[in-house]
Structure 1
Amino acid sequence: MIPTATPATRNSVRRRRWPTALATVPTATAGAKTGWGLSSRSLAIHQASAAAAPVWTASRRLSRSFTSRSPQAFFSAWLRPGSPGAYLSAVTKIEVNGALLAYDDTGSGTPVVLLHAGIADRRMWREQIGPLAARHRVIALDLRGYGDSELPPTPFAHHDDVAGLLDALGIPRAALVGCSFGGAVAIDTALAHPERVTALALLGTAASGHEWSEEANDLWDSLVGEVDPEDFAASAAGEVRFWVVGPGREPADVDPELLAFAREMDQRALAAELALSAVDVAELDPPAIGRLHELRMPVLVGAGGADLPDISRLADRIAAEAPDATRLPDVPDAGHLLPLERPAPVNAALLDFLP
């Protein structure tokens, strides 16, 4: 039985798109490549240990509590054609733990499940599906409530949905590839259901139980400022500036098609978060951040060089604490949606790593 989430858990679900920070640890070793080559396994694993650092509780500006709109009013808007949460297209769905989840399934070989970022949906993997499907059975999932997946008003856990998807598809074990929040779901799945996960590839990942740094709050203030959380278009524009462009670049430095696509996906994701705020979403207990040493499967960790410093630091920590982890050098001129922005090095690293 899936436990009912506490109010604190539900609040953390609403702010999950902001993985949180820890202390600075040493970055790439001297002589490391500036991009991801084909031999990702040959890269040295970072041995830095994470030091303790002051943490803070996310402000209301970041936690984005959507209490001013009733769930009933939202669900009516959610089903209205053309609304941010409306279904994207006619897609394949399968019942998982009482919900119809949308997914794409292509290729043959050892199975790989792709888990999207909290500001996106399964479409963010459009540059990975073809190359990976040449060697693997590739399944790109819309997490419950996102994209084309449905959201019944019943308690659930994302990590149990991933295991349930494998059950529904008759897959005993699979590798998981996650970006941002999808990486956090992948880690939680590997901890809750270790017998189901053959490998983890984590790109710009979050981790449950991880706390933001004060530096990240300051960056939000300087890059975005105050945004009305009920204005999905303005909120998405601010989040894309914060995440996809990043603190060290200007919007003009990034492909405009990528920015437009990211804003469109994020508007739908914002609607998903509003719907999810009315549902009990259970999280891993105890959370992943204190259990990284339990990840016994091979783990690949990467981040974009233009992403928030917090993201790279978390990648360093995971690589230091997971026993069989490989830390890829940060990819230059790449933000938070690394698989979309720099598909060539991402695909090369994944093809070299995945079993």
Structure 2
Amino acid sequence: MIAHDVTGHGPPVLLLHAAVADRRMWDPQVPALAAAGYRVVRCDLHGFGESPMPVGRDDDARDVADLMDFLGCERFALVGASGGGRVALDVAARWPGRVTALALLCTAVAGHKRSVTLREFGDREDALLDAGDLDAATDLNVATWLGPEAGPEARASLRIMQRHAFAVQTAGTPQTAGAAPAAPHGQTTANTAPDKPVSVPCLLVSGAHDVPDFRQIAARLADEMPGARHVELDWAGHLPSMERPDEITRMLIDFLRDPAAG
């Protein structure tokens, strides 16, 4: 079972972290969502936080579904950031009757063809990891994925989470030692989303200061998914829930109270 915690009572909401973080990225949102009347579940996907690298099967969406089964949550809302958004889309496609609403913040998506910008970032990161310079690779990620509104506390928090993830992923296990770390932008994983339409109320958030890929993904999904709407934040980078946590928390609560509102 992947590491997780549960706070509050009411309709369940599952928070899925970005692939440069772990479940601690949602620290600002958890108490507010619980106070608003939700049972807030957050987890560490394998290779992040307190969840080790996977042994055998590597299927984030199945891990999420199994966790919610364990917690007795038949139906639930999903909030996903970046690579966590890709996992959320996978869950919604494979178990459509279980997901009541989707809020996707700067989401990745399976099969996305990376832009030159994203490929160049990946090449720089790979070179640093190959050289064993996890600190420099961490600094690169913090500089790339947090927008101008992020303060020192958010940057310090992301640095801790990303550095820990690199340590977990590069150490691996006897079954996975030597495997490359998961791509921080959430594009390269063993999982691929099924080719099924996702039809559930969906809020897609993108940031004007983010790598263009994620704004393009949000716009495309808004066109393809019935019941989806796209909001671009002119102040945001890739991790708006860490950059202006109070604003994003209010947005999430408003959406969860009335997912169908335009």
TM-score clears 0.5: yes
1:273 aligns with 2:169: yes
SS of aligned partner of 1:202: strand
Tell me the CA shift for residue 206 of structure 1. Answer: 0.3
Bigger drift between 312-321 and 275-284 goes to 275-284
Which residue, 187, 191, 198 being the options, matches 1:283? 191
Q: Deviations over 1:268-288 (max 9, x none)?
A: 12234332892897413xx35
Q: Does 2:156 correspond to 1:260? A: yes
What letter corresponds to residue 278 of structure 1 in structure 2? T
- CA offset at residue 231 of structure 1? 1.6
CA contact (8 A) 1:224 1:242 kept: no
Does 2:29 correspond to 1:128? yes
* 1:90-239 equivalence runs, <5 A: 96=1, 101-134=2-35, 135-218=37-120, 227-229=128-130, 230-239=132-141
Secondary structure of the equivalent of 1:194?
A: coil
Distance 1:166 1:202 in 2: 19
Give the structure 1 partner of residue 185 of structure 2: none
Native 8 Å contact 2:16 2:88 kept in 1: yes
Whether the 8 Å contact between 1:163 and 1:196 is mirrored in structure 2 is no
State the alpha-carbon separation in 2 of the partners of residues 204 and 144 from structure 1: 21
Amino acid at match of 1:334: A
For 2:205, the equivalent position in structure 1 comes to 302
Report how far residue 152 of structure 1 moved. 5.0
Whichever residue aligns with residue 209 of structure 1, its letter is G
CA contact (8 A) 1:220 1:242 kept: no
- Offset of residue 308 of structure 1: 1.1
Q: 5+ residue gaps in structure 2? A: 180-188, 258-262
> Of 227, 233, 244, which aligns to 1:324?
227
2:146 corresponds to which letter in structure 1?
Answer: V
For the residues of structure 1 that align with 2:140 and 2:228, how far apart are their CA atoms?
33
Q: 2: CA distance between counterparts of 1:259 and 1:156?
A: 30
Please report the TM-score for the alignment, with normalisation by the length of structure 2: 0.84
> Partners in 1 of 2:219 and 2:47 — Cα distance?
31
Which SS does the other structure have where 1:334 is aligned?
coil
Q: Say whether 1:314 aligns with 2:217.
A: yes
Q: Which amino acid aligns with 2:221?
A: I
Question: How large is the Cα RMSD of the aligned pairs?
Answer: 2.4
Residues of 2 paired with 1:347 and 1:258: CA distance? Answer: 15
CA deviations over 1:76-95 (Å, ceiling 9, x no partner):
xxxxxxxxxxxxxxxxxxxx
1:232/1:321 CA distance change after superposition, 3 Å: same
Gaps of 5+ in 1: 1-95
- 8 A Cα contact 1:119 1:270, kept in partner: no
CA distance in 2, matches of 1:264, 1:352: 30
Distance 1:130 1:265 in 2: 20
Tell me how far 1:124 sits from its aligned partner.
Answer: 0.1
Offset from partner CA, 1:139-187 (integer Å, 9 cap, x none)? 0111123111234522130000110011101111111100010000000
Q: Is the 8 A contact 1:173 1:195 kept in 2?
A: yes
Task: State the Cα distance separating 1:192 from its structure 2 match.
Answer: 1.3
2:125/2:137 contact within 8 Å kept: no
Question: Are the structure 2 counterparts of residues 258 and 152 from structure 1 closer, same or farther at C-alpha, using a change threshold of 3 Å?
Answer: closer
Partner amino acid, structure 2, of 1:214: V
Are the structure 2 counterparts of residues 306 and 141 from structure 1 closer, same or farther at C-alpha, using a change threshold of 3 Å?
Answer: same
Residues in 2 aligned to 1:301 and 1:347: alpha-carbon distance in whole angstroms? 14
Size of the aligned set, in residue pairs, is: 243
- Give the letter for the 1:298 counterpart: P
Larger Rg: 1
